[in-house]
Amino acid sequence: MTKEMIQKIRECKALKDKTISDITDFPEFEKNLAIYMKEQLNALNKADAMAERTKRLYPRMGLKRPRHVIDRLIEKGVFAGVESFKMAFIDEINMECHYSANERKYIEQLGMQAYNFTVAQIVCKEFPELSKDFGL
């Protein structure tokens, strides 16, 4: 990022005095988080389909897809919906999360992706000339 972009982000009125928790209440954040969650679930479903095809092709090998962090988060209800994931993300940001280190890291990474994209969208509303710099 250039110094000019950083300065405009700091000057953005919509972001003044906002914390990460405040940004998570924006409808744009929830929409972006839903998109990222759906992409992750689609990738997991593709991996399941590939593992199933491999299992059919080589039945004696006993192959199966290794468990992923998403599998554990689905079992714990974190991937039940945007609201539950958002609450887990806020807990992680506030360091109150009670999940394993890998689960916390995954929650933080996915939540920060949605957060960063939301901030970029908000800044671009106020400063449309930055749209091409952010790739929007």
pLDDT at 136: 63
pLDDT higher than threshold 80 for residue 8? no
Sketch the domain layout of the chain as residue ranges. Answer: 24-134
pLDDT confidence of residue 2: 77
pLDDT digits (tens, 9 = 90+) for 95-132: 888 899 999 999 999 999 999 999 888 888 888 877 77
Alpha helices in the chain (DSSP H): 3-11, 20-23, 27-57, 69-75, 82-93, 101-126, 131-134
pLDDT value at position 73?
A: 93
Helical pair 82-93 and 27-57, crossing angle rounded to 10 deg: 110
Q: In the structure, what pLDDT confidence band is assigned to residue 135 with cuts at 50, 70 and 90?
A: low
Q: Are 115 and 20 in contact (CB under 8 A)?
A: yes
Mean pLDDT, range 56-62, rounded to an integer: 76
Inter-residue contact 23 to 118 (CB < 8 Å): yes
Q: What is the pLDDT of residues 64-88, one digit of tens each?
A: 778 889 999 999 999 888 999 999 9
For residue 87, how many other CB atoms are within 10 A of its CB?
14
What phi and psi, each to the nearest 5 degrees, are found at residue 65? -70, 130
State the pTM of this model: 0.84
pLDDT value of residue 72: 92
| pLDDT recorded at residue 106 | 94
Residue type, 55: K
What is the C-alpha to C-alpha distance for residues 78 and 110, in angstroms, rounded to an integer? 12
Q: Mean pLDDT for the chain? A: 87
Is the pLDDT reported for residue 60 higher than 90? no
